[in-house]
A and B are shown apart, each in its own frame.
Chain A
Amino acid sequence: MKMSNKTLKRLSFFFANLKSQPMTVVLFVCASFSIVILFLMLFFVAREGALAFTKFGPDLLLGIQWNLEANLFGGLPLLYGSLMVTFGALLIAIPIGVSTAIFVSEVLPFYLRDPIKSIIELLASIPSVIYGFIGLLIVVPFISSFFGINSGQTALTASLILSLMTIPTIVSVSGEIISAVPKSYKEAALGLGATKWETIKTIVLPISKSGILASIMLGFGRAIGETIAVSMVAGNQAHIATSFLDSVYTIPAFIATHMGEAAVGSLEYSALFGLGLILLVITFIVNTLADLVVKRGAQHG
């Protein structure tokens, strides 16, 4: 510990000797870095996708066929697949995530809150390739034998795995909002004779509902962009699936599996970037809306 304190001291003296005025500029530049990167990202992904967009226009999103030989690049089955597994995942993750958040921040005794939050945080840190691996090892064979189908790589499998990856986002974001509800409000309700559950229902949930909504939107953004795990367990067949026991292909999984073979500058390459741009715009909108919802909620709260 002594040693590291000395290093820390030396480091802080080094920084302190930098001039104050130019340092302000350096700090500002570092803070603006995220803006610059986002613009570069939009520009470069759009530039590579421009060819496909000018050639196909809305068909890139609405066309039903992706066929290299016929020069057809329609992403509708992929968009459909993405939305399907995302909604499937949210259907599972919302009830589990929101009730976990309420339970952890309102019901659980204090000494258990941090350990449980830590375990949920660990769940969030598991890499997606490991989730995909576990899915293949256990969930895929289970689904196949449970439903008696040939391949266990289905939209349902992908939704199950994705829900595990989305729950931590929902728990941590809505948990934070729920614990921010002022203690005095809750005490007032309890003082008037409300039970703990009535307090949660009439005080805590109405105040934190915009935060919970935002956490669900962030979960949506996380799930729709998930690539690796989904591409390992969803079966990867581009068609309009009619059942959750069909295999599906999602936009990110499709990009991941096709980029390697697409010749740089080709129409296919450009179409893949076009799909990427669509995904980027979707997540931008969802994340920005989530932020607005939180801010609006904070104003009313």
Chain B
Amino acid sequence: MGSPTKERIFFVALGVPVIISLLAFFWIAATLLTGVGSLNLDMLTTSALKGGAFEMIVGTVYLFAGAAAIAGPIGIFAAIYLVEYAPSGKITRIIDQAINNLAGVPSIIIGLFGYTFFSRQLGFGISLLSGWLTLSLMILPIVIRGSEEAIRIVPTSFKQAALALGATKWKSISLTTLVAAAPGVVTSLILGIARVAGETAAILFTSSVLITRGLPSSPFQPVMTLSFNMYVKIVARGESPENVFGIALILFFIVLSFSLVAIILRVYYRRKQPWLD
């Protein structure tokens, strides 16, 4: 029988690792914040040719926005199929397994595939378009899983009401289930963006270059990004990390704000959906 002291020791032993992981986050955030001094706001609007980060910021946004635009609809439709249409059987199980496996593919392999398939086989070259397609493969599993969850928790009574009024299955889903699930679906898309906004390995060979003259004027041109710039400057050129502190901070703030928005949205809408509890 465990005495109260023994009990307390167990809980302390369990609690210490939690504190370690929390400290890790705050320590990372604090470390980055010490570099705020090296970030001047002019960087945001100054061209990279003059030492700024303007093209990298816009390039990063271009990349994740396009990837989200491709993965969003496909992911949402896939989720609707899996929740509302899929018969429970072998094919559905295989689809399910494939989504999990896609989510687990290392980003460097996604990058290799993007390079041989999109850049070379389809002839898109090192371009924004290749980057969109490659990164969309990383967003897709996140959107599917998140949307599935959001659709699954919508009460079937909503859909049944529409069906009873004579709507077809698709009509009732798109008019009721999808509307109720919209916040959850959007949240999953934002999480997907947070996942790829700082992605480096997948765009290493598919879409990024160190320096361009101005912004890409078509999807077939390469693009500058914050993550690629940091990586290449440090690893290939051996520059000291302090040199890219400003860029690191900008990237950190972009990714963190997407994650925070997703988390806040989720909490907010959970409160607004009374049928959840």
Contact = CB atoms under 8 A, between A and B. Distances in A.
Interface of A: 8-9, 12-13, 15-16, 18-20, 23-24, 26-28, 30-35, 37-38, 40-41, 44-45, 47-48, 95-97, 99-100, 102-104, 107-108, 114, 116, 118-123, 125-130, 132-134, 136-138, 164, 167, 171, 195-198, 218, 221-222, 224-228, 231-232, 252, 255-257, 259-260, 264, 272-273, 276, 279-280, 283-284, 286-288, 291
B95 A34 contact: yes
A30 B15 contact: no
B256 interface: yes
Given A16-B171, A99-B13, 16 more contacts: A24-B85, A27-B78, A27-B81, A30-B74, A31-B81, A34-B102, A99-B16, A108-B18, A118-B263, A128-B107, A130-B255, A137-B241, A225-B109, A228-B201, A264-B120, A283-B109
Contacts of A104: 18
Contacts of A218: 104
Interface in B1-38: 1-2, 6-7, 10-11, 13-18, 20-22, 24-25, 28, 31-32
B179 A12 contact: yes
A34 B141 contact: yes
Contacts of B106: 221, 224-227, 252, 279-280, 283
Interface in B93-109: 94-95, 97-109
A27 B116 contact: no
Nearest to B13: A99
Contact of B107 (A34, A122, A225, A260): A225
A137 B242 CA distance: 8
Given A16-B174, A133-B248, A276-B108, A228 B15 contact: no
B194 A123 contact: no
Interface string B110-145: 101101110011000000000000000100110010
B118 to A, nearest CB: 10
A191 to B, nearest CB: 16
30 contacts: A8-B182, A12-B174, A12-B178, A19-B170, A26-B77, A35-B94, A35-B98, A96-B20, A97-B17, A99-B16, A99-B17, A100-B18, A107-B15, A119-B22, A123-B28, A125-B258, A126-B256, A128-B201, A130-B198, A130-B248, A136-B234, A137-B242, A228-B231, A256-B108, A257-B235, A280-B109, A284-B104, A286-B104, A287-B100, A287-B104
Interface in B24-68: 24-25, 28, 31-32
Nearest to B34: A137
A62 B195 CA distance: 35
B255 A125 contact: yes
B175 interface: yes
Which of B21, B77, B85, B178 has the most chain A CB atoms closer than 10 A to its own CB?
Answer: B21
A34 B78 contact: yes
Interface of B: 1-2, 6-7, 10-11, 13-18, 20-22, 24-25, 28, 31-32, 73-75, 77-78, 80-82, 85-86, 94-95, 97-110, 112-113, 115-117, 120-121, 137, 140-141, 144, 167-171, 174-175, 178-179, 182, 191, 194-195, 197-201, 204-205, 227, 230-231, 234-236, 241-242, 244, 248, 251-252, 255-256, 258-260, 263, 267
Most-contacted residue by chain A among B32, B104, B171 (CB, 10 A): B104
B112 A273 contact: yes
Given A8-B182, A136-B241, A255 B108 contact: yes
A197 B75 CA distance: 42
A125 B259 contact: yes
A283 B18 contact: no
Contacts of A138: 31
B235 A232 contact: yes
B245 to A, nearest CB: 8
Contacts of B105: 38, 41, 225, 280, 283
The 7 closest A-B pairs by CB, nearest first: A127-B198, A225-B106, A30-B77, A27-B81, A287-B104, A20-B170, A15-B174
B78 A33 contact: yes
A236 to B, nearest CB: 9
